Chains A and B, each alone.
Chain A
């Protein structure tokens, strides 16, 4: 559905993205991750034909985004970051206008606008001025706009930014349902969201693709797999040094004052150090209160890839 080859975008003075190449297949939900300023929005703006790349090419549903921009644009629904909307229009007016602009046939406009209002929960605000809507509703208007012409591809730039937890859950649910009929490329900061919704993930940093795989495979690849938490009363012992000597422990951080100390261990993948920790405690006469392992999350992958020195 999306094919990107060697895409580069240079602004005056710096390069936003370099040599990006990836493909998104039909029906996939692709998550686009990266720290602020990594080039996510730039890539999405290029794909939606809002600006041309400096070099490289990309196509949507087989149409080149530069040479056959109109055909490509007709096949995608794009929701820009921060969702700019005409504040002086009413929700109904805006959606009707956008549907007509995107070439929905006259007799189908009412039906399509009704459908997307239902889908995005806009019924109760349909007669309101967009300028008076809350952030959450604006976001939904943007999403409804992206969907109104039944595009094959949805490009959503930070669809859940600025929403409250309930709204995030609703939007996530909505995206997962949309993924059944549409191909989706979405960027976000919220990592659990990606783990729950996306079939594949691209991690981009400083304009380059650092990783591109399914969330499960990415978790399998990283060196540090989650962590182990140990809470113990250790008396005068130096717990950090002792724990660091255990095979598979990469780093130990001690926390808490008084008798009880909490150690957070970063451990290598595929090694369970809990047995060794228990043995050490028994040997030294520590009193253990907690010994638990946390599974690695996409957050660990993200941190390891985008900040290798921290990991």
Chain B
């Protein structure tokens, strides 16, 4: 277990050694800040039936930034080690393959969580200035951030998987970007289908991140996305581990 934490701490620190982390942090803060501003100014113009918090987590801006950050966070995880050859000293040290895979996954997840922490400040500021609650209930915050965590886990696992496939970071980024975007838009297909009562539409609805976010950010804690994303994460990480292990047989 100690080795896992040694690896994890290097993974986390390595984010902050590279300029990518700061670029992503700034990009994300700007986009989410602008989004928050637009949502409030829109709500200032007319009465709406949703809260600031719901508006923030369900806007187009938000999803755009959301899908884009995963390739940036995960592309270097394995690809860089393969490219630089540092995988050789790493794997000839007495560490197990799964320790490396999990350390990289949790390192990325940690960075992802750090990315979201400043958004809590948005709501605190809003409440301090406007003297009214930003959400309808505390559970709504919990639901929204839970959904972010679940979706983040799954997409980071996909990013790990893309990165373990290649030694080229750009290729890894493209693979994860395409996969994540496809999965994400699979949930949007239901809005295009005209047949209102079709089971296809209903089925696709289960995979719709937008719909799930809508539910959870209202404070309704639905267990279905939990099962979907946690099992999805485990599956993709297991695949990543398999590919990582098979690497030595393909050398």
- A residues with a Cβ closer than 8 A to B are 11, 45, 48-52, 70-71, 73-74, 76, 78, 80, 82, 84-89, 97-98, 100-103, 142, 145
Contact = CB atoms under 8 A, between A and B. Distances in A.
B251 A80 contact: no
A82 B89 CA distance: 11
Interface stretch (B3-11, B55-63, B124-132, B139-147): B3-11
A86 B92 contact: no
B111 to A, nearest CB: 15
A82 B86 CA distance: 10
Interface string B1-40: 0110011001000100110000000000000000000000
Given A98-B93, A101-B3, A103-B94, A84 B84 contact: yes
Q: DSSP class of B's interface residues: helix, strand, loop or mixed? A: helix
A102 B94 CA distance: 6
Contacts of A70: 94, 96
Contacts of B91: 49-50
A51 B248 contact: yes
A101 to B, nearest CB: 5
A100 B13 CA distance: 15
Given A78-B89, A103-B94, 11 more contacts: A11-B251, A48-B92, A84-B87, A86-B14, A88-B14, A97-B10, A98-B89, A98-B93, A103-B2, A142-B89, A145-B89
A101 B6 contact: yes
B95 A101 contact: yes
B1 to A, nearest CB: 12
Contacts of B7: 101
B85 A82 contact: yes
Interface of B: 2-3, 6-7, 10, 14, 17-18, 84-89, 91-96, 248-249, 251
Contacts of B88: 45, 50, 80, 84
Contacts of A49: 91-92
Given A50-B248, A84-B86, A103-B3, A74 B94 contact: yes
A299 B2 CA distance: 48
A279 to B, nearest CB: 60
Most chain B CB within a 10 A radius of its CB, from A70, A80, A101 = A101
A51 B251 contact: yes
B86 A50 contact: no
Contacts of A102: 93-94
Task: Report, nearest first, the 6 A-B pairs whose CB atoms are least far apart.
Answer: A84-B85, A88-B17, A74-B94, A73-B94, A48-B92, A100-B6
A89 B251 CA distance: 27
B14 A50 contact: no
A73 B84 CA distance: 21
14 contacts: A45-B251, A48-B92, A50-B91, A51-B251, A52-B248, A73-B92, A73-B93, A84-B86, A84-B87, A85-B86, A86-B86, A88-B14, A97-B10, A103-B94
Nearest to B17: A88
